Structure 1
Amino acid sequence: MLVLLDRDGVINEDRADFVKSPAELIFIPKALEAIARLKAHGHRLVVVTNQSCIGRGIINEEQLAAIHGKLKDSLAKLSGDLDDIIVAPDAPWAATPRRKPGPGMLFEAMQKYHTAARETVFIGDSARDIEAARSAECHRILVRTGKGQKTLAEGLPRHLMPVHVAEDLDEAAGFILEGRF
């Protein structure tokens, strides 16, 4: 199975002022272990993340590479890794179809890894994540971490269903490993 992961709010703590350095990349408890477990069971793992901080001029691509270097190094310590990290650097006012809620990054990952939507699950924490997954016809898991609790409180539109809800990435990984998809 291809597992697509949002980054902020799913793997690491979401920040209103953006993650601007490796020091600001604070992992959600058990998130890295969940990724390592999924990888150990043979799943392909791709982060698909909006990073408007680039389009807004807050950080540059080299700074983002350093942030993702910390993510990869931290995973390697747990014998985990990612197959890829796909980024939409667009600012919201200059959004391309790659920027979620557009499904562009999800389609890109499925094409690159030759995986059908029915064999792909997307894990996110916001309505725009779930909207992107619905548009790409992937299975959908919403985690309560990050913006997830607020997203649930606001209610998910009917057209986004079905959506599985997990406490965090660790529980979402359990859903996948239990074969719910």
Structure 2
Amino acid sequence: MSRTQTVAFGAKVAVVGGSIAGCAAAIALQRIGCEVTVYERSTGQLVDRGAGLGIPLSLLQTLVARDLVDADMVHFEATKCPFVLRSDDGERDAFQGRILWEQPIAVAVTNWSVLYRQLRSRVPDGHYHQGHEVIDIRETGDEAVSVHLSDGRIVEFDLVVCADGQHSVGRRLLFPDQSLQYVGYIYPLAWSR
């Protein structure tokens, strides 16, 4: 057993958020011996988010090597990303485009739900609590952290990992004066093999 596993073995850990990051954290923590509880506020089935995801091929290889996803996970590999200038030719759904440039890339392109299902299948159902919203997190004086749920329950843990997205309760508590700001990303229109 490694030093990390010795220190972490038996630690009670709450993961706030049961989407991609939360499931990945839960799997990694369980594998080093932590007792993990995942709290996901959504009550229904988590479904697609956006059109898709681009994952660096090296990251996909790491996810496969660590058994976080199956080697045959549905994806296609993109080797270039064209940046296209569109011009409307008057037809409702038709457009003509001119490629401004193509950027070489090494990306596995997949759908959000494909990656999520792969990760979620590796988190035991008994540790994944859907419909449980965390509304507050507080340090207690005895090296523990209390997780306050919307149903009034308070549960103590040794560690809390916040993986609950852009409106994170952790972000709000740790950085209350920081507001969300768009960083100006521009997404490409197409991927090419």
Give the TM-score range, shorter chain: 0.3 to 0.5
User: Which structure's relative contact order is higher, taking Cα pairs within 8 Å and 6+ residues apart?
Assistant: 2
Give the TM-score, by structure 1 length: 0.33
Give the TM-score, by structure 2 length: 0.31
Larger proportion of helix: 1
Q: Rg: which structure is higher?
A: 2
